[in-house]
Amino acid sequence: MQQHYYNMEHHPPTRTRKLKSDFISTLPQNIIEDILTRIPLQEALRTSVLSKKWRHTWRGMPKLVFTDNMVNHLRIQLNKYKLISAIFHVLLFHNGPTIVEFRCSVGELHMESEFAQILSVLARGNTVKEFIFISDNRSNKLPVSFFALQGLEHVHLENCTLEPPLTFNGVSSLTVMNFQNVEVSAQVLQHFISKCPLLQSFILIEVGKGIESVPAGGNNFTLVDLFQCVPLLEGFGITKHYMKYLCAGGMPHKLPASLVHLSYLFLHVCLVEQNEISSALCIIRSSPVLGRIVFLMDNNDKSPVQQTPANFLDPEGYPDLNLDHLEMLEIHNYSNLPLEMEFVKLIIAKSPELEEVRIRLNSNVSADEERKMLKEMLLLPFPRASPSAKLIIVSP
C-alpha cells in the first residue's frame, strides 16, 4: 500500500488560514444555475444560506422538479398540501426569464384540481420550454390551462387523458412530444399534431389500450394521415395498440410524401399481421435517410396462423427499398420464426452502410434454436449489402 506523509513544519496547528475571498460568491451565474439544476429542489432552496449572493439565486432556476417522493406518504393528505404549498411558493418567487424544464410527478397524491391552478400560474408567464407530467391515474384529465402554455418545445405526458378545448390552436414551437399511456381519441390526436407544425420527434407508447378500438365502419385516421401532419419528423416511435388502430384497413405501397427527415424509427409490430408488416415496410420504403431502426416483435410465436406468404419478404421483390443510410438495426423479443428471419435478411440485403445488427432473443428461444439461427445468419449464403456489419445476439 502506498503511503503519503505530509510535512506540517511550516503550518502551526494553532493558526487557521483565512480565505482571501468568498469563492462560491464569485462563480459565474451560468455555473451557479447549472449546479442548482443538478441537485434536488429542496437542496437548491437551502443554498440561500451559503452567501448573500446565493440568497436569491434559486429564484432564477431554469429547471423545477416536483415529485410525490418529496413528501412522506404516511400522511398523504397532509403532505399533499405541503407539496402544493411548496410548488406555489417556488412559482411565486421565481423570477427567471425562462423555466427550461417543469416536471411534476404526483403519483398517489391525486392533486388534479390543485394542478390546474399550478398550470394557470405557469401559463401567465408563458416561459416553460419543457413540460413533464407523470400521474398514476390514466383518467386524470389534463386541465384546460395546460393548453395555454404556448412557449412549449418539449412535452412528456404519462398516465393522463388529453382533451383540448375547441379553441385550441396548437403549439407553434413544439418540437418533441412523448405520450405514454395517454388516453386520446383519434380525432383529438389528429387535431393536436396538425396544430404543431415544427414537430420533429413523436413517440406513442402504451401498456394497455392505446387509442380506441377500431370502429366497425373503418378507421378515419391512419398512419398516412398522421405522417401528413408532421412533415419535419426526424424521430418516430409507436407501440402495439396505436399501431393496430392506425394501420387498420391497410397501407399504400408508399406514402404520398416521403419522410425526408426521418432518421430514427421504433415500431412495435406483429409480423404475422398483414396490415402491420405492410405498414412497417411502407414507412421504411418512404424514409430515405433512416439511420437506425428498432423493432419490438409482438409475440409472433403465439399467433395461430401465419397470414403472410413465405416468399413475401424476398429481397428481389423490393427493388425500390433502399436503406442507403441505415447503420443500426435492433430487434427485441425475437422468436426466431422463419418470417422474422426473412425480415432481418431483407433489411441486411438493402443496407450498404449497415454497421451493426443487434438481436435480443425471446425467452422461449432454446440454446439449440439460437445455434441454428447463428449458423443460418453467419454461414449460409444470402445477399448482404454490407458484409462487414457486426451481428450481436443477446440471450435473455
- Residue ranges per structural domain of the chain: 236-396
pLDDT at 218 over 50: no
Measured CA to CA, the distance from residue 119 to residue 173 in angstroms comes to: 18
Least confident of 60-74, 238-252, 344-358: 60-74
Residue 137 CA: distances (Å) to CA of 61, 108, 165: 29, 8, 21
Measured CA to CA, the distance from residue 237 to residue 295 in angstroms comes to: 10
Measured CA to CA, the distance from residue 190 to residue 83 in angstroms comes to: 35
User: Residue for cell digits 375547441?
Assistant: 166
pLDDT, tens digit, 9 for 90 and up, residues 140-190:
788 888 888 888 899 999 888 888 888 888 888 999 999 998 888 888 888
Strand partners, 292: 264, 328
Measured CA to CA, the distance from residue 30 to residue 36 in angstroms comes to: 10
Average pLDDT over the chain, rounded to an integer: 76
pLDDT of residue 222: 86
pLDDT of residue 16: 46
> CATH 3.40.50: does it fit domain 236-396?
no
pLDDT of residue 384: 87
pLDDT, tens digit, 9 for 90 and up, residues 280-318:
999 999 999 999 999 999 865 555 445 455 556 777 778
pLDDT, tens digit, 9 for 90 and up, residues 186-202:
888 888 899 899 999 99
Mean local confidence (pLDDT), 51-66: 58
